[in-house]
Amino acid sequence: MEFRFSALEFLALDFISGMRVVVQKVLQASVTVDAQVVAQIGAGLLVLVGIEDADTTDDIDWLSKKIVQLRIFLDDDGVMNRSVLDTGGDIIVVSQFTLHAMTRKGNRPSYIKASKPDFAIPMYERFCDSLTADLGKPIGRGIFGAHMNVALVNDGPVTIWIDTKNKE
């Protein structure tokens, strides 16, 4: 299969994205801010989330359900066939605007697609609230905009990238 794009269409591809997450299956994870642990979990998921201005509440709802239902935990036969819901695992969410980095030109990434705090903070909070509801229990949260130290023990390793505008 061959794809052909005009120069303008090709450049526009850089601007087609959505709410982005990196989901990591962990044995444990924690977030520390100013030498204080603000969130920690045992087995479950660490979710890094990047928000852009085009994101909607529909993106949040779809993504939240997708994350809690991802079958990436082993069943009794050693097959990844169970979700964090099935295992009773926990979730930590950390805001990460750098998921929207554009690196096409030069060596300094551009973050122009990442939302500013006035839009991103309410969306981040709603996303966390949606995950809490879908998981059926409170989740851990990083502190939006803070310098965070995130520690994790990746299990597998299993790391999955999801973009709401590219629902594969």
Identity of the amino acid at 38: V
Identity of the amino acid at 16: I
Strands (E), the chain: 20-33, 36-41, 44-50, 73-74, 80-82, 90-95, 140-141, 149-163
Rounded CA separation 63/121 (Å): 17
Rounded CA separation 54/16 (Å): 9
Provide the annotated active-site residues: 96-98
CA distances from 8 to 13, 53, 105, 166 (A): 9, 21, 16, 20
Rounded CA separation 127/119 (Å): 13
* CATH numbers and ranges of domains, the chain: 25-163 (3.50.80.10)
Q: What's residue 5's pLDDT?
A: 40
Rounded CA separation 24/49 (Å): 12
**What pLDDT digit, counting tens, does each position of 47-65 carry?**
999 999 889 999 999 999 9
**What pLDDT digit, counting tens, does each position of 70-128 carry?**
999 999 999 999 999 999 999 999 998 878 778 888 888 878 788 899 999 999 999 99
Q: How many CB atoms lie within 10 A of CB 118?
A: 7
DSSP characters for 119-161? Answer: HHHHHHHHHHHHHHHHHTS--EE--TTS--EEEEEEEEEEEEE
pLDDT, the chain, mean: 88
- pTM here? 0.87
